[in-house]
Structure 1
Amino acid sequence: MSRLAGLVCLVVSVGASTQVQTPVQEPVNKKEQQRQQNAAEQPAVVKEPVPAVVKTSEERVFDLVTEQAKSLAEKPYAQPKQNLPAELADMNYQQYRAIRFNPQQAQWKDKAKFEMQLFHPGFLYRTPVEIKVVDENSGTKNMLFETDRFIYEKDAAPLKGLVPKDAGFAGFRVHYPLKTTDYKDEVAVFLGASYFRLIGPGQIFGISARGLAIDTAEASGEEFPAFSKFWMIEPGAEDSKLVFYALLDSKSVTGAYRFELVPGLNTVMHVQSTVFAREDVKKLGVAPLTSMYLSGENATRKFDDFRPEVHDSDGLSMHTSSGEWIWRSLNNPKGLRVTSLQDEQPKGFGLLQRDQNFTSYQDTEANYHARPGMWITPDNQWGKGRVELVEIPTNSETNDNIVSYWVPEEPFKKGEMRKFDYTVKTVNGALNEDVTARVTRVFNSWAALPGQDNAPDKSERQMIVDFSAQAFAHLGQSIRLTPHLSLSSGKFKDLEVVQLPDKKTWRAKFKLMPENDEAIDMRLFLTLGDEPISEVWNYVWSSNEVE
């Protein structure tokens, strides 16, 4: 509402002009005069001054971090100084693995449910991270490096005592009693640039989140903003949530972040961020997720590996503003692929590991069946934009080759400030909120029949998509589900849907016929009568994917 909306006046149009008329005051009678005189003789009512708003230590810290981020954005970027001795900066992987944090030296040990352990600087982590502890009573204290917090074994033994006290740390991890009160499990890790990981009970680390992504998959190269400082609010003895703040810095952006970590069956992180543009940003990636996909049931690239599938995530899920659920199966393409799903104020998106069946992976070491997904829910207005998915070719499971994030439609210009608040949640398998039939399997093969004469080109594919829902078990074979398929290019034939023996799965299958090397964007869903009863399977295929 306009600030002028509370002002009342009488406007009368006269010919071509407009006049403002002030109401005429009526004469005051004698009784009214006496009432006003009596009121004037009464002592004046003194209004109490409105007390100033007293901010908590948490609020003061967030104000401080925000001011630091704003101030930094107004200055040229300064490369962080590295003050590590060469022996630490150049240590090898085996040496770094031989340095362990001493759990007996954990921050808040025996004082709270939460404990914080620290990562040693060096190896890949040469840029210092400053960590401060904020206590309501004693104020803010810098954490200095203490050699006795670490255990140096084997090849790392000669490195003991070489770290300066003001060197900072590589990062930290948070422990909390997830499964039993007798042991504190690792629930969150902040290590490297702005990366962080979360897990719940029975989950193991795989997918990562980030504070921000800049120019991902752009020809100019990606920029990796980093958290340079952390303020950890000291938890109370029975606190079940941990609050901390971080300062983000990079060549193009700065930012102030508030994190609220809530461990549980699915661990939750509430994120509030205020970001400033130091320079014009070509592509701003909000709430980025990073994962790995080497091979899966839908892949045509084959690896000499006994394991049927190797991946941390098997698909991108999106809940659109209109309520539609979209599932885009992941792939390990031959070349870099960037695709997107446009929307305005989406309800959520994430990279998930829906298939949690051990037999799909047959891996007793990496345990890919126990990797969680991560789901992003916007908590303030993000406006128009797109969820972008980047798939990078890789020949090794050690490389994270999948990235997803939100890209606002409006460019982020130098001098601007924006706020992005959201919730990150770990997910076992599929989302409980997803009540429609889900895509459970996707297969892709040459469309030729065994022994077929004049077999089609290898680019003609037999596509199989299985939709499963417990409610399907009540449908008889006489009930017909209707598949709806659309392609951005190319053609299809022999589209049909059949019920599988488990009764709760219906298989949609069709032959895909590309017309050229252009990528084909496919959308497929099922209806019963006129009602959609499945999520939308979305997949991008190109004939150059064929081996």
Structure 2
Amino acid sequence: MNRRTFLQGATFLTGALILPSAGALAAPDAQPFSYDALIARAQKMAGAAYVPPLMPAPAVVQQINYARHGELVFRTQKALFSGQPDTGKEQGYPLEFFPLGMYAPKRVQMFLVEDGMASEIRYTPDLFDMPDDNPARQLPPDAGFAGFRLQEWYQADDWVRQDWVAFQGASYFRAIGADGQYGLSARGIVLNAASALPEEFPDFREFYIAQEPGSTPDTPVTVCALLDGPSVTGAYRFRMTRGLDRSKGVIMEIEAKVFLRADVERLGLVPLTSMFWFGEYGKGRMQDWRPEVHDSDGLAMWTGAGERIWRPLNNPDETRISAFADENPRGFGLLQRDRTFDHFLDGVFYDRRPSLWVEPITPLGMGAIELMEIPTDDEINDNIGAFWVPEGPALKGTTYDLHYRLHWLSDEPFPATNIARAIATRIGRGGQPGHVRPPNVHHFAVEFDRPSVMTQIPYGVFPKVVASASAGAISRTFSEPVPNGNVWRGNFDLEVSPGTVVDLRMYLELDGKPLTETWLYQFEAN
């Protein structure tokens, strides 16, 4: 999916919660609001027919292309919770809004929640700086917004320039990590991705945003959202914590109640979405001048049985789904482990992109973590997905209760301390250097690092490489230290027929015990 066009999914729920009109940014009249009431509404909607969204002034909106949309700048002095006198709101995380545009054409309703009462936040064109010739000047007075974002705490020096969380398009949202950079996204739900049916993109159609009076930078911002689509409805509650200590990244505690109004072929819960073009391996290395291009370089899993697994990402020739069956996994995430600028050499700072880890609070039960890899020939496409697929068919009338945390950090929040982690995957011709290289033999070199573990290996001792393959034959297994003293490399050759797709598994072992996490990889022999 194009990283710029995925915004097309945002929609407007007609006839949902009608509040009296007012000329002010937040309407003076309000109605009672609670998360429980939102759940009840979502459940009632699941029993009714889906109402297609209303798109305001589509002929005008289609003229607001990527460049013209970029000209529309929210006036930060009008942000709610900015502490600015003309907003009438106290200090907090300033709240700003995204305007409609070609890639975000559907109106999303916004509400401010105070003391259990919800007031609609009204669109007015004077909220935005816009050139005189921008088509947005032709939008109707009730055009509405496409999404919202929260700026850094109003006392921070860069609050005007730096936002830390954004919701825009379908059920997509994202946050910055400890290095202050956006990268991958999360979604509310995934329906029929990489299936025989067209993928469906349900929408967060209403947002209810609350910041407690007298809150501090460590006080969570609470956002409730109403999800709606042809096959699903739902209510979500986000408690999002930023804080002034930016090394802690962003943490979101999420509760959700999801109701299926139709059968779904592939249901993906707690989904993550990212981009991988190529890394230190892969065909893209000859298509671009940069050494690596990716928002994430691997899927990390912590199984219910306690095994730590690392699966480097691929950019395949055709869409592939890999399923990792489990019961009550302790967590999983799409991580950016490579943090060396020289490995990217790019001013968009791929080395600073956040890692995103899912921590289930309520056990997920039986099911599988599924990894979706879609071909891409450029970095503008989100071609990676990871999500939980519960066991059993996803049938009309089924309800799903979710409670989990998302950690937007530089690294996973619960790293293992007693085993080393994989930090690089390298692939080349097999056979022994200095000899005739045999055909259809490929060499794999996987590097593992964790100083507290790897530096404890006695001098002259070489860990055992434990490797297996679903097809072909493995040979020449050996381990070797990399000269810096912390990193060890596990090596093996794989002989396999061209065109074969092989699932590989490997780890290093010392004295009969795992020394590293388990490295998994899906290799297509070409």
Shorter-chain TM-score range:
0.7 to 0.9
1:383 aligns with 2:365: yes
- 1:71-90 aligned at under 5 Å gives the runs 71-90=44-63
Q: What amino acid maps onto 1:463 in structure 2?
A: F
- 1:367-516 aligned at under 5 Å gives the runs 367-435=349-417, 436-448=419-431, 452-453=435-436, 455-457=437-439, 459-471=440-452, 472-515=454-497
What residue is the counterpart of 1:5 in the other structure? none
Q: Greater RCO between the two (CA within 8 Å, min separation 6)?
A: 2
1:237-276 equivalence runs, <5 A: 237-239=214-216, 240-264=219-243, 265-276=248-259
Q: Provide, for residues 443-484 of structure 1, a one-character-per-residue CA deviation record: whole Å limited to 9, x for no partner.
A: 00122556744x422x42111001111022233332231121
Change (3 A) 1:71 1:135: same
Task: Find the aligned partners of 2:139 and 2:283 in 1 and give their Cα distance.
Answer: 49
Map of 1:322 onto structure 2: 305
- Which residue of structure 1 lines up, in the alignment, with residue 35 of structure 2? 62
SS for the counterpart of 1:114 is strand
Match for 1:532 among 508, 514, 517?
514
Q: How does 1:74-473 map to 2 (within 5 A)?
A: 74-110=47-83, 111-136=90-115, 139-153=117-131, 155-156=133-134, 158-160=135-137, 162-177=138-153, 180=156, 183=159, 185-239=162-216, 240-264=219-243, 265-363=248-346, 365-435=347-417, 436-448=419-431, 452-453=435-436, 455-457=437-439, 459-471=440-452, 472-473=454-455
The AA in structure 1 aligned to 2:235 is: A
CA contact (8 A) 2:277 2:284 kept: no
2: distance between equivalents of 1:235 and 1:169?
Answer: 23
Q: 1:159 Cα deviation (Å)?
A: 3.0
Match of 2:201, SS state, is coil
- Per-residue deviation, residues 188-210 of structure 1 (Å, max 9, x unmatched): 00010000001134231110000
CA contact (8 A) 1:292 1:400 kept: yes
> Compared with structure 1, are the counterparts of its residues 295 and 58 closer, same or farther at alpha carbon in structure 2 (3 Å cutoff)?
farther
Q: What is the CA distance between 1:221 and its match in structure 2?
A: 1.9
In structure 2, give the amino acid aligned to 1:419.
Answer: D
Q: More displaced, 254-263 or 477-486?
A: 477-486
Secondary structure at 1:113's aligned position in 2?
Answer: strand
1:259-289 deviation per Cα after TM superposition (whole angstroms, max 9, x unaligned): 0011142210111000001001111101111
Given that 1:189 and 1:196 are in contact with CA atoms closer than 8 Å, whether structure 2 keeps it comes out as: yes
**Contact 1:145–1:164 (8 Å) recurs in 2:** no
Q: Which moved more, 1:227-236 or 1:287-296?
A: 227-236
Hey, what's the Cα distance between the residues in 2 that align with 1:178 and 1:201?
A: 18
Secondary structure in structure 2 of the residue aligned to 1:148: helix
What secondary structure is seen at the aligned counterpart in 1 of 2:268? strand
In the alignment, residue 118 of structure 1 is paired with which amino acid? Answer: F
Q: Is the 8 A contact 1:196 1:209 kept in 2?
A: yes
- Identity among equivalent positions (%) equals 34
Q: Deviations over 1:89-134 (max 9, x none)?
A: 3322211111111101101220122111000012111111001111
Kindly tell me the number of residue pairs found equivalent between the two proteins: 482
Equivalence for 2:25: none
Contact map agreement 1:289 1:405 (CA 8 A) in 2? yes
Structure 1 residues 273-327: Cα deviation after superposition (integer angstroms, max 9, x where no partner):
0000100111110111111111111213433322100000000000001111000
Displacement after TM superposition at 1:226 (Å): 0.7
AA of the residue aligned to 1:207:
L
**Structural RMSD (CA):** 2.1
| Counterpart AA for 2:242 | P
Kept after mapping to 1: 8 A contact 2:285/2:291: no
**Partner SS state of residue 153, structure 2:** strand
Amino acid at match of 2:457: L
> Which amino acid in the other structure matches residue 215 of structure 2?
E
Q: Do the aligned residues in 2 keep the contact of 1:477 with 1:499 (CA within 8 Å)?
A: no
Q: 1:227-284 CA deviation, whole Å, 9 max, x = no partner?
A: 0011112432324210010000111110000000111422101110000010011111
One-letter amino acid matched to 2:142: D
Match of 1:4 in 2: none
CA contact (8 A) 1:200 1:263 kept: no
Residues of 2 paired with 1:399 and 1:275: CA distance?
28
Q: Pick the structure with greater CA Rg.
A: 1
Distance in 1, matches of 2:379 and 2:63, equals: 25
Tell me the SS of whatever aligns to 2:34. Answer: helix
Q: In the aligned structure 2, how far is the partner of 1:494 from the partner of 1:200?
A: 41
TM-score (norm 1): 0.84
Asked if 1 retains the 8 angstrom alpha-carbon contact of 2:95 and 2:148, the reply is yes
> Normalising by structure 2, what TM-score?
0.88
Following TM superposition, by how much is the alpha carbon of 1:179 offset from its aligned partner in structure 2, in angstroms? Answer: 9.5
Question: Partners in 1 of 2:393 and 2:480 — Cα distance?
Answer: 47
Unaligned runs of 5+ in 1: 1-56
